[in-house]
Amino acid sequence: MIGGGIAFYPTLAYNLFRNYIQPTKWSWYSRVNDTLILGAIPFISMLEVLKNEERVGGVVCCTEQFELDAAWGAIKPTEWRNNGIEFHHTPMKDFFGTTSQKEMMSAVEFIERITNQGKTCYIHCKAGRTRSATVAVCYLMYKYGQEVEEAKENISKHRPQVLLHEVHIQTANEFLFHRTLAYFSRFFERIFKREQKIENQQAQKQQLMSKPKALPVNDDVAYSNYSLFNKRSNLARQSVQKAVEADETRTNKRGVILLYKSAMRDLESALSTKLSSCPPYKHTEISLQQEKLGNFLSSVKERLAKLEEGERSKSNENRIVSVSRSFSRQTREIPTTSIPSSSSSMTNSKLLKGVNPKFGEEILSTVLADSEKITLRNVEGNEAAKELLEESVILPSLNPKLFTGLRAPCKGILLFGPPGNGKTMIARALASECHSTFFNISAATIMSKWVGDGEKMVQALFQVARNAQPSIIFIDEVDSMLCERSEQENGAARRVKTEFLIQMDGCANKSEDRILVLGATNRPNELDEGILRRFPKRIFIDLPEKQARASMIKSTFYGSNTQVALNDRDLNYIADLTAGYSYSDLDALCRSAALIPLRSIDRSNVHKYTAAHLRPVNVQDFEAALTTIKPSLNNENRQKLIEFAKRHAQIAI
């Protein structure tokens, strides 16, 4: 019974060992020196003792994974980390074998880093006799240059129950051999590099004037160059757009020629950016953009030559206007304004053709202007979703004649996923890249207290969209308006849903209509089946993965010109800590971390400070912010979304 009780109650077992059976600490764990402790697998009741009394700052676990998982009551890796103690797992088999030299070196370097901070490192296996002692022996050999037997004797002196088998001694000898071999390899490599450096210096003296060596670019400078390229690229696109619009509307072509020349200078400025000065992981993106900008530059030069020739001859003006319109159609990739000009009564009259002005004016008020250009490149993560949207929406808008018949684009797309992950931003990016009029619709826009007005508002919406096509009707929180029909709902809501289904069918049946209905929701299970059928493409917008989280944190700070002291290792560490965070959660986390440097200033003289006086945001600020900013999505809701995606979505989970 006593043995069974100890097996089932590890915390009680530890207390019995410590207080009654073996009161000395070495019965469970033993201190080898000021910064090294060997012991058995620790239980949760030992956490406070190890943290506060023994000053443990890092833990090396030398068990197999199943042993760590099966140890009921033991301290888990997450519990170590939650208490500010770093955790390192070195998988080792008991008695029959240990681990690879790579894993052993990783463990030794981890111990070295912890002990250099003045903290204690706790090395443990299941019983604290063989595997943990093997790692400790290798560390003493690495740190103090001791021989195998000398290191073993030093450890056994403090922990008599150490029992090293022949296979573990062999592992230590192999570690010593590889360590010595690596030292001499580096020694001879340094000699070789020194000789090679002398030869290179002599060769460079002859090439210095003709071919200067490029200076290395650090991460901050490279990212600044990338940001500058984006600004130049956007400015060039806006300049081309402005010139094209002026070419279509102005009869005096002299001003148009000046606009085209300005656009040509902006394009050449953007094309002057060198790939070597930007981050390597952005080279593909920059190359694609520069290829498009090069095509724009060729078109601008061609159009400019024709305009200058026309100004000289002052003849055949109709032909020039026709060429201008043709050029406008060829440059569909240039972002255009996604809202019709409300100041022009002629434009409004065309948009409201066949529409009751009472409802039409309200529909026009929902059209969003793209003051800032948004593209899918601005959206971090969800690469598969962006690729599918590009195939389904952007490419058909650039070449409608190619996408006909079975390749015809669908007229309804549903974006669903956890809240705060950029579904609305993706919708606006699609409208910007497709040069479409963007209608931002909600339930409040459509529903009315007057009988019959809801159905008429739906009719007006689709008619205005036809007049302004290509158009995108974006319905945010679509479940609030088009949820599943039931007997309890009133007749007005049912009629609005029915009218919406009819109008969507009308768009789908008319191939010449270029109207896309884009819905977004985080509750797809509540949608009516009829509505779900009319969204043939359902795309899951999931939480950002690790790389996307790190990239967003970096771009958030660089985009806001906030001083930050984070390297790639820090970003990856923060990304690991923010698993389960949405994009909005990460934005809130960055804002919270950016405020922490303000707490160290003198508040009585706060009016004298500028941003330059504040220290950069560091990884410790993020750790402090993580204590207050938590994920907004619970696992249960995310699991429901994943189950829906497995049944209905086009992107595999």
Least confident of 9-23, 196-210, 430-444: 9-23
What is the predicted pLDDT for the residue at 195? Answer: 61
Distance, in Å, from the CA atom of 414 to the CA atom of 246, rounded to the nearest integer, reads 37
> 412 - beta bridge partners?
517
Residue of 536, 515, 519 whose CA lies nearest to 396? 515
User: Between 6 and 169, whose confidence is greater?
Assistant: 169
Average pLDDT over residues 562-571: 87
Least confident of 106-110, 369-373, 468-472, 560-564: 369-373
Among 3.30.70.590, 1.10.8.60, 3.30.750.24, 1.20.200.10, what is the CATH number of 546-632? 1.10.8.60
Distance, in Å, from the CA atom of 248 to the CA atom of 500, rounded to the nearest integer, reads 37
pLDDT at 211 over 60: no
Which segments of the chain belong to CATH 1.20.58?
219-330
Residue 475: other Cβ atoms inside 10 A: 25
CATH number of the 28-177 domain: 3.90.190.10
Contacts of 398-402 with C-beta under 8 Å, sequence gap 24+, read 398/332, 398/333, 400/514
Average pLDDT over residues 605-609: 78
What is the predicted pLDDT for the residue at 507? Answer: 66
What is the predicted pLDDT for the residue at 191? Answer: 54
pLDDT at 409 over 70: yes
Q: Tokens 């003289």 identify what position? A: 605
What's the distance, Cα to Cα, between the start and end of the chain in Å?
A: 49
Distance, in Å, from the CA atom of 117 to the CA atom of 57, rounded to the nearest integer, reads 9
User: Between 536 and 97, whose confidence is greater?
Assistant: 536
Average pLDDT over residues 163-189: 58
pLDDT band for 186, please (50, 70, 90 cuts): low
What is the predicted pLDDT for the residue at 169? Answer: 66
Contact in structure between 442 and 477 (CB atoms under 8 Å):
yes
Pairing relation of β-strands 412-416 and 537-540?
Answer: parallel
Residue of 111, 99, 167 whose CA lies nearest to 141? 111
User: Between 567 and 165, whose confidence is greater?
Assistant: 567
pLDDT at 420 over 80: yes
User: Between 544 and 248, whose confidence is greater?
Assistant: 544
3-state DSSP assignment of residue 86:
strand
Summarised one tens digit per residue, pLDDT across range 65-90 is: 888 887 777 888 989 999 999 999 98
Going by the DSSP 8-state scheme, the letter that residue 272 receives in this structure is: T
Among 3.65.10.10, 3.40.50.300, 3.30.420.40, 3.40.50.2300, what is the CATH number of 345-540? 3.40.50.300
Distance, in Å, from the CA atom of 81 to the CA atom of 576, rounded to the nearest integer, reads 12
pTM for the model stands at 0.47
pLDDT at 56 over 90: yes
Contact in structure between 345 and 445 (CB atoms under 8 Å):
no
pLDDT at 12 over 60: no
Query: What percentage of residues in the chain have a pLDDT greater than 70?
Result: 78
Which segments of the chain belong to CATH 3.90.190.10?
28-177
User: Between 94 and 265, whose confidence is greater?
Assistant: 265
Residue of 542, 531, 513 whose CA lies nearest to 637? 542
Contacts with 419 (C-beta within 8 Å, 6 or more apart), sequence order: 522, 582, 584, 632, 633
Distance, in Å, from the CA atom of 438 to the CA atom of 624, rounded to the nearest integer, reads 41
pLDDT at 91 over 50: yes
* φ and ψ of 571, to 5 deg: -65, -40
* Average pLDDT along the chain: 77
Going by the DSSP 8-state scheme, the letter that residue 390 receives in this structure is: I
Which segments of the chain belong to CATH 3.40.50.300?
345-540
Distance, in Å, from the CA atom of 440 to the CA atom of 141, rounded to the nearest integer, reads 68
What is the predicted pLDDT for the residue at 74? Answer: 86
Distance, in Å, from the CA atom of 510 to the CA atom of 187, rounded to the nearest integer, reads 75
Contacts of 215-223 with C-beta under 8 Å, sequence gap 24+, read 217/276, 217/277, 219/279, 219/567, 219/568, 221/277, 222/277, 222/278, 222/279, 223/279, 223/554, 223/558
Query: What percentage of residues in the chain have a pLDDT greater than 90?
Result: 7
pLDDT band for 61, please (50, 70, 90 cuts): very high
- Architecture of domain 219-330 in this structure: Up-down Bundle (1.20)
Single-letter amino acid, residue 496? V
User: Between 530 and 8, whose confidence is greater?
Assistant: 530
